[in-house]
Amino acid sequence: MSAILTIESLGGLVAFSTAVETGSFAAAGRRLGLSASAVGKAVDRLEATLGLRLLNRTTRSLAVTGEGDVLYRHVAQVLKHLQDAEQELHLLQKSPRGRLRISVPTVIGRRIIMPALRDFQACFPDVTIDISLDDMKVDIVAGGYDVVLRLGELDDSALRARRIGPHTFTTCASPDYLARHGVPRTPADLHAHCCVHYRFPTTGRPEIWAFGGSHEARPIKPAILLNDGEALASAALGGLGIIQAPSYLVREDIAAGRLQAVLADYTEARGSVSLVWPPMSAPVPKVRAFIDFIAERVREELY
């Protein structure tokens, strides 16, 4: 047998399976909302495609052939799986449940998102979180992500986005370093200091620090480059030099006196903190629940 079942064969398979279960084309038609003739023609087309006799017809009954019995056993399983899938999809549309795939940058993921997931799971226990901590800019659609947290300026695209707020930074160093090398009063003073910069994994280039006014036009040559965002705080705490880091990374160390902020009047925000998702994901309850929950939690933690 060289016949190949196509999507057009699905109607015939449903008609055939229903006829076997109900015992007649007329009864099958009543279940499917079709005429007995339409059911019979669908089965005829299926038999012609397969080149096999599936049902022996008489004026009063139907009898399943050996080949028909083999096909029915497989078709019944497939249709049962489809019914189960339909029911599961219906449940997914009613309440947050299922697997949720998200991607967040490493530092904000560890400092803010990961601690928030415990409360999110308590509120939505039927949602399974599949989270990637990655500083690379992922392709949301190709990667199969439901939601991605982005830092910086957003590109124009067909994706949907919710801006949570500005991505704020703090320029700081350890009190010991500042005691040894002096406190910079303007960004121009940084050229005489050891400046520790983050290196972007996508380009390999150092991050340009954000200062307002004319100061932003004078890039500072890094003395040390790191490819790990959290290592910036470690470098500053170890007295290696001055860093400019996301405010949420160094906030506790500054409050505890382990780090000291400098150039506060000059340091500016660098883009925004945003949640981004494919347009078709927005109506899905698990996606909507995560966006609303995490947006509020991130806003609380940052601002």
Q: Which domains does the chain have, with CATH numbers?
A: 7-94 (1.10.10.10), 98-164+273-302 (3.40.190.10), 169-261 (3.40.190.10)
What's the pLDDT band for 92 if we cut at 50, 70, 90? Answer: low
Contact 55, 16 (CB under 8 A): yes
Query: How many Å apart are CA 76 and CA 45, to the nearest integer?
Result: 19
Identity (one letter) of the amino acid at 128? T
Rounded to a whole number of angstroms, the CA Rg of the chain reads 31
Q: What are φ and ψ of residue 274, in 5° steps? A: -140, 150
Among 39, 276, 5, smallest CA distance to 141 is for 276
In the beta sheet, which residues pair with residue 98? Answer: 127
Q: What is the pTM for the complete model shown? A: 0.66
| Per-residue pLDDT tens over the stretch 41-70 | 988 988 888 888 989 987 677 888 988 889
Given strand 160-166, what is the order of strands in its sheet?
Answer: 127-133, 98-104, 147-152, 272-277, 160-166
| Per-residue pLDDT tens over the stretch 130-183 | 999 988 888 898 899 999 999 988 876 778 899 999 999 999 999 999 999 999
Query: At a CB cut-off of 8 Å and minimum separation 6, what does 221 contact?
Result: 191, 195
pLDDT at position 137, please?
86
| Per-residue pLDDT tens over the stretch 3-33 | 566 666 788 888 888 888 888 898 888 988 8
